[in-house]
């Protein structure tokens, strides 16, 4: 009985922390990181700001936790798609084409999150957040590589994909390029010459170029 009484406050504390993370995540999605204050989060959670600081220590820590929560939720929406029999029965190049399109899905369907991701990256750089503090965050990020690598190997095996490339280098180059362009498009036009009215078409062209590069005989 005494043990149960000791566990109850810890369980309540865990629930409150989880609720604060979820609420702050939604507030960041709606308003951005900089615009949301710790007092705003505390008010929305129905706790004192001192309690919030006692739970997390800094706004940076709760922001990392919120972004981890958002990535985890997003990952749960899509990972299972690439493990279905219907997907795996396709040729290697078709599987790769579908996977290349996932960046367009993120752009079309999760714009608020992708825009928030750009602000979050800037925060990490500005505050010089140590890598050790981002271990759980990194694990929560959707990792397309195992699926793309599996599709690539299947394509090499079935003859639809070329084998004379550094595939890891291709994956990193494509992923970094797409994410950078998405963040730029969602950040908005800055220079007089900027014109993002065909931004999605730019992303689609990059995806098509990537598939064309991978296709058997494209560069041989």
pLDDT score of 1 more than 50: no
pLDDT score of 218 more than 60: no
| C-alpha span between 41 and 27 (Å, rounded) | 8
CATH class entry, domain 67-214: mainly alpha
pTM (two decimals): 0.84
pLDDT bin (cut points 50, 70, 90) of residue 2 is very low
Beta bridge partners of 165: none
In the chain, where does the domain assigned CATH 1.10.10.60 lie?
A: 1-57
Higher pLDDT, 207 or 141: 207
pLDDT score of 189 more than 70: yes
Residue ranges of alpha helices (H) inside 79-198 are 85-88, 92-100, 102-109, 111-126, 135-140, 145-158, 167-187
Give one word for 84, left, alpha or beta, with left for phi > 0 and alpha for psi -120 to 50. beta
CATH class entry, domain 1-57: mainly alpha
pLDDT score of 27 more than 90: yes
In the chain, where does the domain assigned CATH 1.10.357 lie?
A: 67-214
What pLDDT shows up at residue 16?
85
Q: What is the mean pLDDT of the chain?
A: 91
pLDDT bin (cut points 50, 70, 90) of residue 142 is confident
What pLDDT shows up at residue 131?
92
Section 153-174 average pLDDT: 96
């Amino acid at each position: 009985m005494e043990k149960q009484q000791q566990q109850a406050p810890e369980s309540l504390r865990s629930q409150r922390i989880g609720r604060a993370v979820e609420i702050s995540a939604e507030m960041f999605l709606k308003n951005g990181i900089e615009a949301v204050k710790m007092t705003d989060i505390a008010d929305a959670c129905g706790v004192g700001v001192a309690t919030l600081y006692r739970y997390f220590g800094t706004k940076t820590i709760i922001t990392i936790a919120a972004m981890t929560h958002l990535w985890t939720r997003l990952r749960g929406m899509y990972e299972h798609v690439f493990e279905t029999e219907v997907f795996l029965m396709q040729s290697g190049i078709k599987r790769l084409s579908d996977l290349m399109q996932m960046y367009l899905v993120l752009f079309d369907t999760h714009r608020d999150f992708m825009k928030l991701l750009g602000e979050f990256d800037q925060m990490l750089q500005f505050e010089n957040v140590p890598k050790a503090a981002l271990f759980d965050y990194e694990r929560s990020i959707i990792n397309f590589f195992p699926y793309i690598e599996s599709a690539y190997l299947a394509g090499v095996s079935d003859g639809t994909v070329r084998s004379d490339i550094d595939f890891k280098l291709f994956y990193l180059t494509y992923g970094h390029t797409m994410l950078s362009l998405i963040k730029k498009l969602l950040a908005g036009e800055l220079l007089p010459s900027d014109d993002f009215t065909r931004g999605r078409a730019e992303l689609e062209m990059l995806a098509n170029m990537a598939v064309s590069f991978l296709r058997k005989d494209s560069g041989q």
